[in-house]
Chain A
């Protein structure tokens, strides 16, 4: 019993630690991007609500586990290889449900040296639980039509999920 309590306490402390700096919904979104950039997998996950659903360029991750397993690693790779400059942001909602709309100019280089320079649009819905805002939904898209077409072509060649 004592051992179980110690385990539960350590779980609680660890899961709260990365999210403790989170005060506003916008700060939670920024902290998520910062965690990706710093290769902090646990920190990024701790900012996600357990009911997370992600829409990413037409893909759907219906659970936080699916996103963590299938896409988080690649999003981290992209975050490390690119620079995301916040261009605009609007926040809204009330109570325990809030939204943060952001646009970013994303620049960098791909593996083959091709330049990345596009606008990425992000919708984040946040839910407050235990006094902390965590991301319950993310939706990314881009204003780059060529990129979107390339992404959709890649998706059509992937196995059903």
Chain B
């Protein structure tokens, strides 16, 4: 079990502006599965505890998983409520993510690799 504290400092002693707006959070429950067993939404809470998200304020933002089986996986948020985020099917389902996994949501679009052009 990973224990998380909430002190954000890396190169301590340097104070710079954030490169982008971001929120950290933790999965509290998986969303409903579709008829093929795929999950495209998560119930979440913010870390550290803060006010719930505004409706759809995260639309188009990037969700990156920071722990668990889906570590480093990236998803585009297509909508949210105060405590639920839904992701685009373009990045695949959220299956494999577990309750208590942590993530970061950043105000930057997902960049998807385009398939190489035939030579």
| Residues of A bordering B, CB below 8 Å | 3-4, 6-7, 10-11, 14-15, 17-18, 39-42, 45-46, 48, 50, 56-59, 63-66, 68-82, 108, 110-112, 116, 120, 140, 147-148, 150-152, 154-155, 158-161
Contacts and interface: CB of A to CB of B under 8 A. Distances in A.
B64 A45 contact: yes
A110 B15 contact: yes
B32 interface: no
Contacts of B15: 110-112
Interface in B103-117: 104, 106, 108, 111, 113
Given A7-B96, A68-B66, A111 B8 contact: no
**Main DSSP-derived SS at the A contact region:** helix
7 contacts: A3-B93, A7-B96, A40-B111, A42-B74, A50-B71, A68-B71, A69-B24
Nearest to B110: A42
Contact of B8 (A45, A63, A73, A140): A73
Interface in B71-116: 71-74, 92-93, 95-96, 102, 104, 106, 108, 111, 113
Interface residues of B, number: 44
Given A41-B74, A65-B66, A159-B5, A111 B10 contact: no
Contacts of B49: none
Contact of A158 (B4, B7, B19, B24): B7
